Chain A
Amino acid sequence: MSDPVNSIAEWLRMIMAGWGLSDTLITVILAVLGVVVLATIVLVVDILLVWIERKMVARFQDRLGPNRVGPFGIIQPIADVIKLLIKEDIMPQGADKFIFNLAPILALATVLLLWAVVPFAPTIIGADINVAVLYVVAIGSIGTLGIIMAGWASNNKYALLGAFRTVAMMIAYEVPMIIALLVPVLLARSMGMQSIVEAQSPWYIFVVPLAALILFVSSIAELGRTPFDISEAESEIVAGFHIEYTGMKFGLFYAGELLHALTVSALIATLFLGGWRGPFVDQVPILGPVYLFIKAFLVYYLIMWIRYSFPRVRIDQMLGFNWKFLTPLALFLLIVVAILDKAMVEFEPLWYVVVMLAANLLIVWGTILILRRYARIERIRIAKERPVARALETDMNEFVGQE
């Protein structure tokens, strides 16, 4: 059965063919239309996200949140946008003007670009390219470039420090992220988003939950959200890389950050939660986007929940956690999944899933044992008397003795 989006596209194609336009030109015009529609929808959802985020954080902190402008304060983000639009745009002294202006544009544009490969329904997808996962990784890295550009061009020490930290963190967490992305690619034998979604019976979160968890944690780090928000640690470097940005330029960074969180949620939903899959989606394709957004917002809610519940980690802890824990774990998981998958070619699908799930849980159990052991050693190390404290004490004794 045809879905409304493709029906409209076919109808437009026929009308334009009637005007005598060439096939290539029609394709290009339809692609431009598709891009504009997709980007507009995504940006409108982005404006809504501001409201959702503010309302949710208020609830987490036992407040009411915006509730004056419109029903439940839902018009609030539009008022915010108008406010940002009429704010004066301040160019700091000694800033590199071109790069300073380019950075916020890159920050939002790269996130928008990621939506090109998110499948909404069996037939509704921006571009079903066969290297979609690599495309996501590649485009995602350009966002990092926007941040280092912002930090460097601002001519501000806080901004530069924030940018350095962010880049160190983002490139570090990209390693476990890419390895975790490899697992669904390996299971589906494809890098295309549609084929990965279609291959998911059952959803991959029930087959390789550990890969989903690793992807989730490293994605939170990629987003620079608490507990990995050292890039904008208020108590240390004020606002980090976007400290000198005012008005709409700051707004673009903010919008980009929120949208990035939703985009990552949508990608996790696509790769591990079955994307648009759900009851009756084959009969009514328009249900696909509904299922996708429900799943994406569930993941988004989890990210918010973590953001408002956890304290920040130090930069050495954060890099240590990545290189000494997450990366080896992801590599180990990949080895196990690869060997098991090949060894179970002849198995029934049910047994395949059961063995895979059991292997995942076994790895989780082993990891927890190792972590517990490490925590015990660490507790003993910290409980030891430290030289600084002892030196102070002896000084005090001498001082008292002299009295």
Chain B
Amino acid sequence: MCFAPDGFEALMLDDWIFIGIFLLLAPVFPAAALLIPRLIAPRKPNPLKSETYECGIETFGETRVQFKAQYYIFALVFLIFDIEVVFLYPWAVAFDQLPMFAVLEGVLFILILVAGLLYTWRKGVLEWV
């Protein structure tokens, strides 16, 4: 909660103090919820109980198998989009100061993004096989 009575800059700093303290305290609540069972819940582990769950038969081989290369490619496409779209946020905030020319330049930037999307589409990257 922003409690600072004096000045805009003090207000902003207070807000960031709040966020920082929230960042520190937020994991404490769920961690406390995990600590209570440690005190009151029964603990009787045995090998059978802690076995990996899998449809009744024992699991075999490595669990952490190699994953499909497709996931990797999707992650790459996402990365490009995410970073480029984040660059558009300052453009949107400063919209009042922009002349029509700058707006169209932003649109051009988006169109380059679209071209990238079309390219990956044509290359068949977006097909899940």
Contacts and interface: CB of A to CB of B under 8 A. Distances in A.
B40 A86 contact: yes
A270 to B, nearest CB: 17
Interface residues of A, number: 94
B15 A127 contact: yes
Interface string A31-50: 11011101100010000000
A172 B78 contact: yes
B123 interface: no
A256 to B, nearest CB: 8
A179 B85 contact: yes
Nearest to B81: A175
B18 A35 contact: yes
A113 B121 contact: no
Contacts of A335: 107, 110-111
A272 B83 CA distance: 24
A10 B1 CA distance: 11
Contacts of A129: 12, 15-16, 19
Contacts of A110: 26
A126 B121 contact: no
Contact of B30 (A85, A108, A133, A185): A108
B contacts with A: majority SS = helix
Given A116-B22, A160-B65, A182-B89, A92 B81 contact: no
Interface string A19-37: 0000000011011101110
B74 A171 contact: yes
A35 B34 contact: no
Interface of A: 5-6, 9-10, 13, 27-28, 30-32, 34-36, 38-39, 43, 84-94, 101, 104-110, 112-113, 116, 124-130, 133-135, 137, 152, 155-158, 160, 164, 167-168, 171-172, 174-175, 178-179, 182, 185-186, 189-191, 238, 243-244, 247-249, 251-252, 315-316, 319-320, 323-324, 327-328, 331, 334-335, 338-339, 341-343
Given A13-B3, A252-B33, 20 more contacts: A31-B14, A31-B17, A31-B18, A32-B21, A32-B25, A34-B1, A86-B40, A88-B44, A94-B63, A105-B30, A112-B26, A112-B29, A127-B2, A157-B59, A157-B65, A191-B89, A244-B52, A249-B34, A323-B77, A342-B103
18 contacts: A6-B1, A10-B3, A35-B21, A36-B25, A85-B36, A85-B41, A90-B45, A90-B50, A105-B31, A113-B23, A128-B2, A130-B12, A134-B86, A156-B59, A189-B96, A319-B126, A328-B114, A334-B110
